[in-house]
Structure 1
Amino acid sequence: RIMGNDDRRSRGCLSTLTGLVPSAADTFAAWSWLKARVLFAGGLTLTIEGRSVVVLEPLGEGGFSSVHKCVDRAGTPYALKRCFVQHDEHFLVAKTEVDMLKRLQHPNIIRFFGSDPVEPQMGVPNIQVLMEHCDQSLIGIMKQRFTSKFTEEEVLSIFHNVVQAVCYLHSLTPPVAHRDLKADNVLLGADRRYKLCDFGSCTSEAYEPQGTREINLFQDEIDRNTTLEYRADRR
């Protein structure tokens, strides 16, 4: 579970469990990730752009990041996302999300409070992002409501909230495409609004591929920045 979804870390972990000999790169990636996770423990006090918070329990983790709940001195909750940058692609994803969140202000988009690059810890550089805290994700609510289902009014409310966020993104100059819309990236805020999050895959670039080679390159771009099971049918 500590290793997350990153292929190199997963292979390193699997090699350890199966007794196979991992490569030096796999071993370094897995060990660096583990050391960074151990160092980032609950109870740590951090200051991000002048806002001091105390780190509490973990809320979740992704391929190269983890999210913790934290509170300030007044008890106001926040979500702290820490990205462990192990190569250039990780840095680009983290930078894209921070740069985009700084621009966005909408009630159906997760609110951004600040970010700080962090000095490397035992060889693992990382970036931390302070955001609005949301108690639940849409995917979590869907799992809880698996048997009771949503009412038509609830479905329309969720859809309306997400569409409002997407409409706002598309109305910007230049327009922004989120590119990774899925239930995992929709959170329920304290104001009972559903909010779009995770902007590491978004872009303002417009693509008009010409010829097979450019189409294949465009397909690679889609593969890197979208989730397979949520893609629109291309037939």
Structure 2
Amino acid sequence: MLDSGQIIADRYELLKQLGRGGFSEVWLAQDKLTDVKVAIKIYAPGMGLDDAGISLFTQEFSLVFDMNHTNLLHPTYYDCWERMPYLILPFCKNGSAFQYLTDNNRITETESWHLLHDVAEGLAYLHAKTPPVIHQDIKPDNILINDENRYMITDFGISARIRSTLRRNQGQESSGGTLAYMGPERFGPSPAPIMASDIWSLGATMYELLTGMPPYGDHGGVLQKNGADIPLINEDFSQELKDIIYKCLALNPWDRPTARQIADYTSQHINGSPVPFSLSNNSHDTLQEEEDKTHEDSISAHSSDINKMSPYQDKGKRKKVIVVAAITAIFATIVIIFSLISGKEPVVESIPEPTPTIDYDKMCLSIIQEGENSKIQGDVFRFDIDTLKQNNDSVFEDFHINAIGKYHQINYYRDSISAKIYLNATELKQQVEAILDSAYHVFKEKANIMKDLDQAVAAQAFEDRAKKIEPYINIDNNENE
């Protein structure tokens, strides 16, 4: 339990709690060595982590210190005190966007464009990393305002592995993020966050700053996933600003703009030279743009113009297309009937097939990245399968089975992609199959041990886990039988 006046690491005196989340506390502290006020973020407060958890934090945060960008609140120091990792950050006396909101301040049009630009710039930097760094928890609390009134992203670099470690430490199984700002894809069978998830969270954050409430209250994108429309923004802001927020909140991840597109568009608007905002797929961000979309969904068009069509005009446009198609069909029928009556063969002009515009290499790279993300998350639970006590039943194999499914999707495009990409996916799939094969034998062995100990329920649990893995150990051979 942390208290005001407490000294951390013989150096930082806690003055005032600034915030508290599920896994951490943020305090205003006095650095007794430099006599400067700092913010200190302490993870696993009052509980601490085991050696594996501390080692993971050290490894992950060493990467964070290499991330430098104008719109990221960069930590200045990292250490561990009484088994609790902590970060030292610059203290932003202007507080967060959430504090700005709760102080009953109404954000202006100009401030909205600057906030949207600054956060998008920070996200574009993170997403351009290899592999991309997904923030996972963009919300007003995690956007701070520095002394120059620049908006800064905080809490970045907290990877899925760290979040899983913290959840496991507290016995939680929910995915990372805050419900009100989690996009609809986060509530599906493959809830791993992707770059487009950060964009939805940014849209939800902007929506709240403009209206006072997130778009779906505390429920987040699960309501949208179940059919709810994007609520209109009735407040007095420009249609351009509203439209870009609507686009960020698009149901399908691939219909959302990238962080780079948002940053460039908002920069042009702020500088007085706005241009139509189109969703082209030529930016670096889209190389690994992901989501659990199906084979058919992957060929959706990406050329809609945000200024020409808002999300609420789509239905009307589709109706016009249907009417035109119906008229065309009727006309064609009349021509055929007339030709039959006159005894003449109908003349059918050959229509050239449209040139394919799908970049299958890029699409398959995105699918492969999804598989790698699932494998990485599954690896977090690898050590659990060697213990007799199972605290995360089936989580390990669920992530790896999902990864195999992603890699296997590449077979659909084998004749349309480069040999290098296909062979890479095949190799990655074989690696995951080998991991699951090893786990299968571990579970079988543990089942026999529990039977010998007359632990029938535990033995059956291990048998069930082995049975779940069995079909995926060699997916190609199983399909050919």
Report the TM-score, using the length of structure 2 for normalisation: 0.32
Say if 2:92 and 2:144, in contact at 8 Å, map to a contact too.
yes
Matched residue pairs, number? 170
Match of 2:29 in 1: 70
Say if 1:97 and 1:198, in contact at 8 Å, map to a contact too.
no
Match of 2:300 in 1: none
Match of 2:2 in 1: 37
Using the alignment, how far apart are the partners of 1:129 and 1:169 within structure 2? 19
- Asked if residue 159 in structure 1 is aligned to residue 108 in structure 2, the reply is no
Larger RCO: 1 or 2 (CA < 8 Å, sep 6+): 1
After TM superposition, list the pairs within 5 Å mapping 1:86-165 onto structure 2: 86=48, 98-119=61-82, 125-135=83-93, 136-145=95-104, 149-165=106-122
Runs of 4+ in 1 over 4 A off after TM superposition: 85-97
Query: What do residues 32-58 of structure 1 show as CA deviations (whole Å, max 9, x unaligned)?
Result: xxxx325xx4262646xxxx5443222
Report the TM-score, using the length of structure 1 for normalisation: 0.61
Say if 2:65 and 2:74, in contact at 8 Å, map to a contact too.
no
Candidates 150, 156, 159, aligned match of 1:199: 156
Candidates 162, 177, 188, aligned match of 1:226: 177
Change (3 A) 1:71 1:37: closer
Aligned residue identity for 2:103: Q
Change (3 A) 1:77 1:87: closer
Say if 1:201 and 1:226, in contact at 8 Å, map to a contact too.
no
Query: What do residues 144-187 of structure 1 show as CA deviations (whole Å, max 9, x unaligned)?
Result: 23xx5221101001111100100110122222111111111111
Using the alignment, how far apart are the partners of 2:60 and 2:146 within structure 1? 19
Using the alignment, how far apart are the partners of 1:224 and 1:86 within structure 2? 21
Aligned residue identity for 2:29: C
Using the alignment, how far apart are the partners of 1:93 and 1:189 within structure 2? 30
**How far does residue 94 in structure 1 lie from its aligned partner after superposition?**
5.2
**How far does residue 227 in structure 1 lie from its aligned partner after superposition?**
2.0
Say if 2:72 and 2:153, in contact at 8 Å, map to a contact too.
yes
**How far does residue 109 in structure 1 lie from its aligned partner after superposition?**
0.8
Using the alignment, how far apart are the partners of 2:97 and 2:151 within structure 1? 8
Change (3 A) 1:92 1:163: farther
Change (3 A) 1:80 1:181: same
Aligned residue identity for 1:187: L
Using the alignment, how far apart are the partners of 1:232 and 1:67 within structure 2? 26
Using the alignment, how far apart are the partners of 1:45 and 1:76 within structure 2? 15
Candidates 75, 82, 85, aligned match of 2:42: 82
Using the alignment, how far apart are the partners of 1:223 and 1:107 within structure 2? 32
Measured on the aligned residues, the alpha-carbon RMSD in Å equals 3.0
Q: Aligned with 2:79: secondary structure? A: strand
Change (3 A) 1:203 1:126: closer
Change (3 A) 1:202 1:64: closer
Query: What do residues 114-142 of structure 1 show as CA deviations (whole Å, max 9, x unaligned)?
Result: 111113xxxxx311211111121111101
**How far does residue 110 in structure 1 lie from its aligned partner after superposition?**
1.0
Using the alignment, how far apart are the partners of 2:112 and 2:125 within structure 1? 20
Using the alignment, how far apart are the partners of 2:154 and 2:59 within structure 1? 13
The structure in which a higher percent of residues are strand is 1
Using the alignment, how far apart are the partners of 2:144 and 2:53 within structure 1? 23
The structure in which a higher percent of residues are helix is 2
Say if 2:8 and 2:81, in contact at 8 Å, map to a contact too.
no
Over the matched positions of the two proteins, sequence identity in percent amounts to 27
Q: Aligned with 1:139: secondary structure? A: helix
Say if 2:13 and 2:30, in contact at 8 Å, map to a contact too.
yes
The runs of 5 or more residues in structure 1 that have no matched partner are 1-35, 120-124, 205-221
